[in-house]
Amino acid sequence: MNIAVCDDDANELKALHEMIDKWAKEQNKIVKVYEFQQGELLCNTICDGKKYDMFILDVMMPEMDGITLAKKLREARSLAEKTPIIFLTSTREYAVESYKVRAFHYLVKPVDYGEFADVLNEASGSIQKRMDDVFFVRTRDGDYYVSRQEINCIIFEKRCICFICNEKKLSSLTISESFKSATAEFDTDGRFFRCGASIIVNLSAIRAVEKNIVTFANNSELTVPRTVSKELYQAWIDYFLD
Return the percent helix, strand and coil in the chain, to nearest 5: 40, 30, 30
Domain count for the chain: 2
SS3 label, residue 41: helix
> Residue 24's pLDDT band (boundaries 50, 70, 90)?
very high
- Residue 68 neighbours by CB distance under 10 Å: 15
> CA 180 → CA 13, 156, 176, 183, 236, distances in Å?
47, 9, 12, 5, 21
Are 148 and 219 in the same domain? yes
Q: Which of 97, 112, 132 lies at the terminal end of a domain, its last residue? A: 132
| Separation between Cα atoms, residue 212 and residue 96, nearest integer Å | 51
Q: From the centroid of its chain, how far is CA 144? A: 9
Rounded to the nearest integer, the mean pLDDT of the chain is: 90
Identify the bridge partners of residue 4 per DSSP, sorted by sequence position: 34, 55
Are 34 and 117 in the same domain? yes
Are 8 and 128 in the same domain? yes
Q: Residues 146-162: pLDDT tens digits? A: 888 889 999 999 999 99
Are 83 and 164 in the same domain? no
Q: Which of 132, 156, 188 lies at the terminal end of a domain, its last residue? A: 132
Q: Domain limits at 186?
A: 141-241
Are 74 and 174 in the same domain? no
What pLDDT is stored for residue 147 in this prediction? 83
pTM for the predicted model, two decimal places: 0.60
**Which CATH number is 235's domain given?**
2.40.50.1020
Q: Which of 103, 132, 161 lies at the terminal end of a domain, its last residue? A: 132
What pLDDT is stored for residue 186 in this prediction? 93
Considering 88-92, 129-133, 166-170, the range whose residues carry the highest mean pLDDT is 166-170
Q: Residues 41-82: pLDDT tens digits? A: 999 998 888 889 999 999 989 889 899 999 999 887 656 667
